[in-house]
Amino acid sequence: MPALSESSIAFVDRRNVYCPTMIPVTPDTELSISFETQRAVVSPWGASLRRYLIINDGGWETDILWGYTGGRGKRGGQGDVLIPFPGRIGDGRYAFEGQSLQLECNDKEGPNAIHGFVRSLPWHVQEAHANKVTFEIHLDTDTYAGRGYPFSLAVWVTYSLGPSGLTCTFDVKNVGQQAAPIGVGFHPYFTVGTSLIDEAEVQIPGTAYLEFNERLAPTGTILSVADTPWDYRRFREIGRQRFNHCYVQLERDAQGIATASLRHTARNRSIHITMDHTFTAVVVYTGDAIADAPRAALAIEPMTCASDAFNHPDWGLKRLVPGETFSGRYTVTFVG
């Protein structure tokens, strides 16, 4: 895939009509969308979600995300899109349909591949409206075969604001000639206004979690949360828990929706992250390794497969055949 240096960036004029303009996409390129009392800032650099704010009656903005402005402000994977695999692949090695493949080991925690390819690439702004933006990118075999992923994909990520809150949808289409392994994930951090996330309470729908080794790669063992300190199926205070866990076997409602929630009762703030049936895992991370802002917020990461699913296809890995499209969505709702 040739490097993308420009994109059709849309700016709103005073008539609330978007006017596309060709400008270079850099890590500092950002767009703002809004709906009633909500505003979000997104970027075609990595299709990243950078801020989500609620505007009160006095015009003050309340941050729902622990976000950033400008490429240099990013810490700890804030708002990243994780495609074609979320989480870690141990030693970067996997096999798919008779091929033994080696990914680049780019994980600072150890010799693993982590979080896919697209979070540091410029995307194209495919469509932009006052309350909605769609980003698009193509990955092709010629570019990524030498990096351990000989498959071709077209990917779209859409952020929209509406009555239910912030919705993020994805569509991944196999535009190649062979089946491709696919996982999709997102890396937002959430805050309910506390200086440390320790003071908040969290509810996680996972009934089990992956055992990790000392390099934070899955060992292959799945552990039940029952009768362990990691059972957060009902609200519990985070306290000094050091989360860096991949939860699986999610509890769901009658419509197949799994919900993770964060709240601070004293501030009367709650955030609910609802995930459709395509999301089979959720990573929860307290950010302890972030040097300049440890435990400032809680990462709640919707993932369509568990970490290292390329080596454990039954952990939610999608086998996408040529011409097929894989789609899903999650929504963030604020109550306060």
Inter-residue contact 300 to 138 (CB < 8 Å): no
Q: What band does 22 get if pLDDT is binned at 50, 70 and 90?
A: low
Give whole-number Cα distances, 280 to 33, 126, 158, 250, 258, in Å.
Answer: 29, 28, 20, 7, 9
Among the listed residues 218, 182, 219, the one whose alpha carbon sits nearest the alpha carbon of residue 303: 182
Tell me the whole-structure pTM to 2 decimals.
0.92
Parse the chain into domains and list their residue ranges.
6-335
Which two three-digit tokens encode residue 173?
A: 């289409």
When pLDDT is averaged across residues 232-257 and rounded to a whole number, the result is 97
Query: Cα–Cα distance between 89 and 139 in angstroms, integer?
Result: 19
Among the listed residues 134, 18, 12, 3, the one whose alpha carbon sits nearest the alpha carbon of residue 81: 134
- CA angle centred on 27, ends 25 and 29, rounded to 5°: 55
Query: Cα–Cα distance between 299 and 75 in angstroms, integer?
Result: 12
Query: Cα–Cα distance between 309 and 303 in angstroms, integer?
Result: 11
Q: What band does 86 get if pLDDT is binned at 50, 70 and 90?
A: very high
When pLDDT is averaged across residues 284-289 and rounded to a whole number, the result is 95
Q: What is the tally of helices (H) and strands (E) in the chain?
A: 1, 29
Instruction: Quote the pLDDT of residue 4.
Output: 36
Query: Cα–Cα distance between 22 and 9 in angstroms, integer?
Result: 6
Q: Is the peptide bond before 84 cis (omega within 30 degrees of 0)?
A: yes
Inter-residue contact 280 to 316 (CB < 8 Å): yes
Query: Cα–Cα distance between 72 and 75 in angstroms, integer?
Result: 8
Query: Cα–Cα distance between 147 and 182 in angstroms, integer?
Result: 16
Inter-residue contact 50 to 186 (CB < 8 Å): no
Instruction: Quote the pLDDT of residue 279.
Output: 98
Cβ-count burial of 239 within 10 angstroms (0-12 exposed, 13-18 middle, 19+ buried)? exposed
Which two three-digit tokens encode residue 221?
A: 């063992």
Query: Cα–Cα distance between 117 and 84 in angstroms, integer?
Result: 7
Instruction: Quote the pLDDT of residue 87.
Output: 95
Q: In which residue are the tokens 């570019």 written?
A: 143
Give yes or no for residue 5 having a pLDDT over 50. no
Inter-residue contact 303 to 82 (CB < 8 Å): yes
Number of neighbouring beta carbons within 10 Å of residue 11: 13
Contacts (Cβ under 8 Å, ≥6 apart) of 98:
none
Tell me yes or no: is domain 6-335 CATH 2.40.50.140.
no
The average confidence (pLDDT) of the chain is 92
Q: What band does 68 get if pLDDT is binned at 50, 70 and 90?
A: very high
Comparing 1-10, 16-25, 61-70, 87-96, which segment has the lowest mean pLDDT?
Answer: 1-10
Which two three-digit tokens encode residue 260?
A: 């993770």
Contacts (Cβ under 8 Å, ≥6 apart) of 273:
190, 259, 260, 261, 300, 302, 330, 331, 332
Inter-residue contact 63 to 53 (CB < 8 Å): yes
Q: What is the pLDDT of residues 171-180, one digit of tens each?
A: 999 999 999 9
Query: Cα–Cα distance between 191 and 244 in angstroms, integer?
Result: 17
Query: Cα–Cα distance between 181 and 99 in angstroms, integer?
Result: 12
Query: Cα–Cα distance between 267 and 159 in angstroms, integer?
Result: 27
Percent of the chain at pLDDT exceeding 90: 86
Query: Cα–Cα distance between 79 and 330 in angstroms, integer?
Result: 14
Give yes or no for residue 6 having a pLDDT over 50. no
